[in-house]
């Protein structure tokens, strides 16, 4: 099982989309349209990590990198996400150094973390895969650990949190960040306090070689706006948002008849 996203990120900005529907067909279409990664969500829907196996398999079959968002910083849940074949794990609402360290402990093998090992899992090729080094080293080198900065506690302590070793990227969530401050502005990245928080992350991420993920809309302009602010992993909306907007457009057209 080859992991390619981390290497691609060294060469250029990467693009993905959030998958809320749980549909493997959506992931297959994303891959056919040239997106780099699928952000598979379990936080805001009823699915568990194990329920995402078919989605991960669809991504792997079509050559798009599956990143799986778990529900919380939990070592076992993080490990299971990677063991079913996710190329990276996204962990929501990180507020403390201990939670940041939990992300690494669950995702990385020693000496970086304390991830438990079983060779008979998909991420290890069920013991049949061959690696240039070994399974533990390959996993540590190529699988992505992506905590989420979506609370004021993260931004208030951004320097100490991002000093924790073993982090590959940070996912900035402007909607939840503004919500945590009771200043909800949705995904408007151009609000001064939102772009200021993103800049704080950028200043800590750049010298450490840490990527930054953030949500755009569906246009080149929205993506370029993020890239200009230092974002290296651009989320081009979600399947639900795109479906909703299409249905609203259909409704308007029907109303003209």
pLDDT at 213: 98
The 3-state DSSP class for residue 115 equals coil
Q: Does the pLDDT of residue 129 top 80, yes or no?
A: yes
Centroid of chain to Cα 192 = 24
Q: Does the pLDDT of residue 133 top 80, yes or no?
A: no
This prediction has a pTM of: 0.96
Centroid of chain to Cα 73 = 14
Structure tokens belonging to residue 36: 């780099």
pLDDT at 25: 98
pLDDT at 222: 96
pLDDT at 236: 97
pLDDT at 113: 97
| Residue 131: pLDDT band with limits 50, 70, 90 | confident
Task: Give the DSSP letter string of 191-244.
Answer: SHHHHHHHHHHHHHHGGGT-EEEEEE-SSHHHHHHHHHTT-SEEEEEEHHHHHH
Structure tokens belonging to residue 190: 């151009």
pLDDT tens by residue, 16-57: 999 999 999 999 999 999 999 999 999 999 999 999 999 999
Q: Does the pLDDT of residue 132 top 80, yes or no?
A: no
Residues 6+ apart with CB under 8 A from 17: 30, 35, 38, 39, 235, 236, 237, 238, 239
Beta bridge partners of 80: none
Considering the chain, what is the average pLDDT of its residues?
A: 97
- Rounded (5°) CA angle 102-105-108: 135
pLDDT tens by residue, 172-190: 999 999 999 999 999 999 9
Which domains are present in the chain?
A: 5-255 (3.20.20.60)
| Length in residues, the chain | 257
Q: Does the pLDDT of residue 1 top 80, yes or no?
A: no
| Residue 103: pLDDT band with limits 50, 70, 90 | very high
Work out the average pLDDT over 195-199. 98
Work out the average pLDDT over 228-257. 96
| Residue 202: pLDDT band with limits 50, 70, 90 | very high
Q: Does the pLDDT of residue 234 top 90, yes or no?
A: yes
């Amino acid at each position: 099982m080859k992991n390619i996203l981390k290497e691609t990120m060294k060469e250029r900005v990467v693009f993905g989309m959030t998958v809320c529907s749980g549909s493997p067909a959506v992931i297959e279409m994303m891959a056919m349209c040239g997106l780099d990664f699928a952000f598979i969500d379990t936080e805001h829907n009823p699915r568990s990590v194990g329920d995402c196996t078919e989605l991960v398999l669809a991504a792997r079959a079509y050559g798009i990198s599956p990143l799986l968002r778990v529900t919380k910083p939990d070592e076992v849940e993080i490990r299971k996400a990677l063991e079913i074949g996710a190329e990276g794990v996204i962990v929501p609402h990180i507020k403390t150094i201990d939670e940041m360290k939990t992300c690494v402990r669950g995702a990385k093998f020693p000496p970086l973390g304390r991830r438990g090992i079983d060779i008979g899992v998909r991420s290890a090729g069920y013991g049949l895969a061959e690696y240039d080094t070994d399974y533990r080293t390959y996993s540590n080198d190529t699988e992505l650990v992506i905590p989420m900065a979506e609370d004021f506690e993260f931004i208030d302590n951004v320097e100490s949190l991002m000093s924790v070793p073993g982090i590959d990227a940070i996912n900035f969530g402007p909607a939840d960040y503004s919500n945590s401050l009771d200043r909800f502005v949705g995904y408007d990245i151009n609000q001064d306090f939102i772009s200021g928080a993103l800049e704080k992350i950028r200043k800590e991420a750049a010298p450490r070689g840490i990527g930054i993920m953030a949500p755009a809309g569906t246009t080149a302009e929205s993506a370029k706006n993020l890239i200009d602010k230092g974002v290296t992993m651009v989320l081009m909306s979600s399947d639900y948002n795109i479906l909703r907007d299409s249905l609203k457009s259909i409704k308007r057209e029907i109303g003209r008849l």
